[in-house]
A and B are shown apart, each in its own frame.
Chain A
Amino acid sequence: MPDDRALVMRRVGAALSSLRSREPLPVHPEDGTGASSVCASAARANPVAAFVTQLASVGGRAFEAPAPLAEWLTARGFLRGYCDREALGALAGAFAPPLSLDTRFMADRIDEYDFGITRAAGAIAETGTIILNDALTSRRLGSLAPWVHVAVLKRSDIVPTVSDAIRALGTDPYVVWCTGPSKTADVEGILIQGVHGPGEQLVLLT
């Protein structure tokens, strides 16, 4: 296999050798970047309330208990779903027929699932973002392919800001932040939800 490592490194070294001064490593402000100071202070004061507000502002929806969630799904005809085994406990038996749940995800039948229920590793209050990872979700497709994704989220796992979430990235090889449903504005700038990922992003708080 061709590899130009030595060549590229030599070129980089040569390009930098003529620099008279080099920019020092900048110091980050102690209290974060203050990017969204307005939302960040609300998020620090009450992370759960701020998260619910911001989730709604990006097109998502939070449920405080499993029964209203089951009702919402049933009313819209989202009847068949996949539920990660680990998330099953959070539903507390609220999912009765006509709702049906599979705990094994079949990749060759992805279009048959109306919704997918998986656990979230956390959430960011200031942006309404939920955090998924490989450790807590056994199937990446389960949270992605169905039209509706339900993230089961512990209130105590919500962090106030983006900087906090960066610090909490941990060692998982795959962490994805989801800020609302999948979106595009490629066609004449018109916003359409549900392009390749979920068209509805729901959260069940526990």
Chain B
Amino acid sequence: MTREPFDRFAADQSEERRSSVRGGAKAGHEARGRALEADGVPFDRLRSLAARIKQHTLDHLDAYLRAATTSLESRGVTVHFAADAQSACGIVTDILDRRRAIRVVKTKSMVTEEVELAHHLEQRGIECIETDLGEFVVQLARDRPSHIVKPIIHKNRAEIAATFESHGLGPYDDTPEVITRRAREFLRRKYLAADAAITGANFISAESGRLVLVTNEGNSRFCLAATRCHVALVGIEKLVPTDRDVGALLDLLARSATGQRLTVYTEFIAGPRGVGQLDGPDEMHVVFLDNGRTQVLASDCRQILRCIRCGACLNVCPVYRQASGHAYRGVYAGPIGAVLSPLLEEPGRRFLEKADLPRASTLCGACHEVCPVDIPIEELLVRMRDRAKRSGATSGSTPSMGAWALVASQPDAWRAALSAGRLLAVLPGWLGPEPLRAWRDNHALPPWRGGAFRRWLEKRGAAHAR
């Protein structure tokens, strides 16, 4: 079977899992719609502002990186730059080693997933506990997150309860409330015992040096109340010019992600804890990560870097809903992942391994319609298909155009093909060349109507001649 890797993942998925993902994504999309409608949000006007804020920052990223570094340092934050995953993990490990930190708690962060930071730390004997409930379940189950905002959208309560049971978190009980309470009890001990906290950032204001974190559960608040050292790993595209710009983006982020006006907790962190404050870090580090982002910035798909990771494009995407996040074989799933994942890879073999992702789309543009920063995702998907073709990616399921060209350029051959087409409806599925067989496994053919127009035209011509 020469299906594309994406199709294989999608096809091998259990019906149970497919229905979890479809239900969760649909609910997320509907919540978004209700939130925008209830408040009468002028979505198009607001997202045009948000898009221009992010694009402006990207187009002047050199200046804003310098400004952010200066303002962060003036707030007592140590700023580091990491060119790639290995360097990022190295910098974080060095910071922890200097403090002799061996127990770390971390919040949900896409970029730490991207560089596999938790895995790296664990290999060096540093305990690194995920504190977001979904990510905690993923960590215990040695699974992978399948959604940017809802990491365990693919799991049902029974699977989660079984995971908790096998890790000694009480006897089997699949009540969502019991699951949540058990995580609360367990993770409290972890926060209080931890030497350092690792977070990402949703935004950094270059002007004020304020790092903004949003969470619903409060795990990030706990991380920053119970530990003495805060390390934030941040993609260079997370910058915005001013606090005011943060405000405009916050107006869109929670509504797009979960249908809330604001996420429950929005933290504005500008350096180590204040004078007189007894809780929280006395040392703070920001590590700015490139890891392929400058390569994206130099490409004709740079708009993808505007993304604020709300997950709205995943929720609305008909392909994501059927295939689930794991089919995208990387940290970023859905339409955004189909563009970003291959772009972040090195050109060559690594890129080609993900070159099928941009084809996992119907190009319907629903992702663009819901995007709070107006990324023309369907356009970028087409550019990525072109890039894949030019890079020599082979395609698993699309038959070559050569045969079609041959037939279409010769009238007699065309007429013959049109009549022969009728046979497709009666021939068994196993007959025919491999790509056609693979295609027919997944598709039902409509009744053949080829040649009808020519027959009509001939009759009409004959009638007029009389």
Contacts and interface: CB of A to CB of B under 8 A. Distances in A.
Interface in A21-49: 22-26, 28-29, 33-39
A148 interface: no
A96 interface: no
B290 A192 contact: no
Range class of the B interface residue count = 35 or more
* Chain A interface main SS type: loop
A92 interface: no
Residue from B221, B226, B236, B272 whose CB has the most chain A CB atoms within 10 Å: B221
B59 A33 contact: no
Contact of A173 (B23, B177, B270): B270
A38 B39 contact: yes
Contacts of B208: 169
B87 interface: yes
Prevailing SS type, chain B contact patch: helix
Nearest to A187: B176
A189 to B, nearest CB: 5
Contacts of A188: 20, 24, 156-157, 176
A76 interface: no
Contact of A144 (B56, B90, B221): B221
B272 A33 contact: no
Contacts of A108: 192
Query: Quick one: which of A5, A16, A23, A184 has the most chain B CB within 10 A?
Result: A184
21 contacts: A1-B80, A1-B94, A4-B83, A14-B294, A28-B244, A34-B42, A35-B39, A35-B248, A35-B252, A37-B39, A107-B279, A134-B280, A166-B244, A173-B269, A174-B224, A180-B264, A184-B180, A186-B137, A195-B216, A197-B218, A197-B264
Given A23-B52, A144-B221, A183-B264, 12 more contacts: A4-B82, A9-B66, A15-B294, A26-B56, A33-B49, A35-B251, A134-B280, A139-B277, A140-B277, A167-B244, A179-B265, A195-B216
Interface of B: 20, 23-24, 27, 38-42, 45-46, 49, 52-53, 55-56, 58-62, 65-66, 75, 80-83, 87, 90-91, 94, 131-134, 137, 150-152, 156-157, 160, 176-177, 179-180, 183-184, 187-188, 191-192, 208, 210, 216-219, 221-222, 224-226, 236, 241, 243-248, 250-252, 255, 258, 260-274, 276-280, 288, 290, 294-295, 297-298, 302
Closest 3 CB pairs of A and B: A197-B218, A134-B274, A35-B251
